Amino acid sequence: MRAASILALIGCLATVTESKVYTRCKLAKIFSRAGLDNYKGFSLGNWICMAYYESHFNSTAQKFLKDGSIDYGIFQVNSDTWCRRAEFQEKNYCHITCSALLNDDLVYAIICAKIIVRETEGMDYWQGWKKHCEGRDLAKWKRGCNV
């Protein structure tokens, strides 16, 4: 009986930590509904392109950096400035826990990304965007998605 309970608990935990990798068109629809298309002058293509090069559309992506901080979620938001890990006192300008950025519904990630764009005056915060998306024709990122 006890072994069955432990296995059930492990199964629940495995389900919670399972990553969600979105399709391009699913993200286009979510981002469009969330008001990201032309938010602060950045087209929907910019947001989709950035999410691809930052996380490959993986809502639970995490990147551990040399300085001890961690980039979280679909937009790879950094723990040092934008969110708070329980054991550290980061700046937390988005006023959220970093774990909230790993949620599959993307609400907190989108709210935080809007704050970043507003507070940093653009998408230059994201190196993936600067390297692969900035100044390019981004129409292909929403092509065929009916948004």
**Active site residues per annotation:** 54, 71
Q: Report how far residue 91's alpha carbon sits from residue 17's, in angstroms, rounded to the nearest whole number.
A: 26
What is the residue-wise DSSP string for 75-144? Answer: TTEETTTT-B-TTS----TT-SBGGGGG-TT-HHHHHHHHHHHHHTTSSTT-HHHHHHTTTS--GGGTTT
